[in-house]
Structure 1
Amino acid sequence: MTLSTTLNSTLSQIHIRIPQHYHRQPIVSRLISRYDLIINITCAFLEAHAKDDGWFNLEIQGVSRAVEAGLAYLQELNIEIVQLDIKSIAQENQEKSKILCNNHNFSDIIDDNDKKADSNVVEGQTTRAKFQVCIPQNYQSYPVIAGLVYCYGLTVNISGAVLDTNPENDGWFDLEVWGRRQQIVLGLRYLKELGLQIWL
């Protein structure tokens, strides 16, 4: 996976509801790792340990067939897609959706098989970290959380989230991440180098 690649052609804006029984599943993380999509969460509400459904507004960018496969995956899980807007985007408008990877030479530390995360990572490892991260308004148009998956090969579950549409309000996410210890260390360093507040 080339970190500098700008994905082409399609931007989907969707509103989805996450049933309570999926609150501990890394659904967004799987969309990124399985389908090579760039995903930015633009609005969200998910209460940890709540019985109510959570919901997310997502911007999904990638080649058309990958976006279609990702949407089909959500439908297979019976996740309700409340609103769907798909459009082609010009090359010059793709800049904001680039992943904010740092300059760590990650490929020297984690091989390609490890970066194909997902179920193999969750089943095969012993390292997990739980923390809360604040996403300030100046980062809300960038796929910060997606960078943990795309750049560092982590599997990420969002167990709680509050991010509203008011650009003046900071958002926060409760995250559970799985990976090798070195992956987690680099992922936390990535968030800190972006200047984000983290509570472990």
Structure 2
Amino acid sequence: MALSTTLNSTLGHIHIIIPQHYHRQPIVSRLISRYDLIINIASALLESHAKDDGLFNLEIQGVSQQIEASLSYLQELNVEIVELDFKSIVQENQDKFQILCTSHNFSDIIDGNEKKADSHVVKGQTSRAKFQVCIPKNYQSYPVIAGLVYCYGLTVNISGAVLDTNPENDGWFDLEVWGRRQQIVLGLRYLKELGLQIWL
């Protein structure tokens, strides 16, 4: 049903505070698309339409140089880095995070290597969709939202989120996604095929 995509070298977590004036910016999405990182959101608190800052605890896997560049990007935005812990990982743990990409939903698998969706493949104008998705406890160790960026080339902004560290509780995210219409359709299908509840 699914293919797994892994990155090597470095694994860690980062606790960041995103200022309220950046809530309309797809910061986490840019960390994935610009720096080729796999990011799993371990916990998050961001109230829609609130003036409070957003709190995100991110688990990150990627090449060390790209991680360093992503941290510089956050510092340029004055995103507060509360906690930072990275370490090199041994070979047997290099598949810590798996992005689940349903093989029949994207056309850019070449020689068995998964690549990010190419915007040239999908024709049409850029569209936007807003929806809420529930992340059940059995998927909280998988970077589901990162799959929208990595597999389907979508830009994803998290406009609201509640996900605590208790593995027994489900989490939910208010998402705004931008991309070609077909990319959005495939992204929504990807979430549905994972069995996730979506409210449009």
Whether the 8 Å CA contact 1:42–1:165 is kept in 2: the answer is: yes
Where in structure 2 are the equivalents of 1:79-90 lying within 5 Å? 79-90=79-90
Q: Which letter does structure 1 place at the counterpart of 2:149?
A: V
Whether the 8 Å CA contact 1:132–1:175 is kept in 2: the answer is: yes
Q: Deviations over 1:17-45 (max 9, x none)?
A: 01000000000000000000000000000
Q: Indicate whether 1:114 and 2:119 are aligned.
A: yes
* Range with greater deviation from structure 2 (56-65 or 87-96): 87-96
Percent sequence identity is 85
Whether the 8 Å CA contact 1:12–1:67 is kept in 2: the answer is: no
- C-alpha separation in 2, matches of 1:5 and 1:171: 23
* Range with greater deviation from structure 2 (88-97 or 174-183): 88-97
The offset of 1:114, in angstroms, is 1.6
How many residues get paired?
190
SS class of match (1:52): coil
- Which structure: greater strand fraction? 2
Q: Which runs of 5+ in 1 are unaligned?
A: 116-123
Equivalent residue for 2:113? none
Whether the 8 Å CA contact 1:12–1:61 is kept in 2: the answer is: yes
Equivalent residue for 1:40? 40
Equivalent residue for 1:96? 96
Q: Deviations over 1:109-146 (max 9, x none)?
A: xx96527xxxxxxxx94410000000000000110000
SS class of match (2:96): helix
The offset of 1:105, in angstroms, is 5.3
Whether the 8 Å CA contact 1:44–1:164 is kept in 2: the answer is: yes
Q: Which letter does structure 1 place at the counterpart of 2:191?
A: L
The offset of 1:106, in angstroms, is 1.9
Q: Deviations over 1:62-87 (max 9, x none)?
A: 01101111111101100000000011
Q: Indicate whether 1:61 and 2:61 are aligned.
A: yes
Cα distance change of structure 1 residues 113 and 49 upon mapping to structure 2, 3 Å threshold: same
Where in structure 2 are the equivalents of 1:1-200 lying within 5 Å? 5-104=5-104, 106-107=106-107, 113-114=118-119, 125-200=125-200
Whether the 8 Å CA contact 2:20–2:53 is kept in 1: the answer is: yes
Equivalent residue for 2:111? none
Whether the 8 Å CA contact 2:15–2:83 is kept in 1: the answer is: yes
The offset of 1:150, in angstroms, is 0.1
- Which structure: greater helix fraction? 1
- C-alpha separation in 1, matches of 2:45 and 2:105: 34
Q: Which letter does structure 2 place at the counterpart of 1:61?
A: Q
SS class of match (1:29): helix
SS class of match (1:57): strand
Q: Which runs of 5+ in 2 are unaligned?
A: 109-115
Q: Give the alignment's TM-score, normalised by structure 1.
A: 0.89
SS class of match (1:165): coil
Q: Which letter does structure 2 place at the counterpart of 1:10?
A: T
SS class of match (1:145): helix
Q: Which letter does structure 2 place at the counterpart of 1:60?
A: I
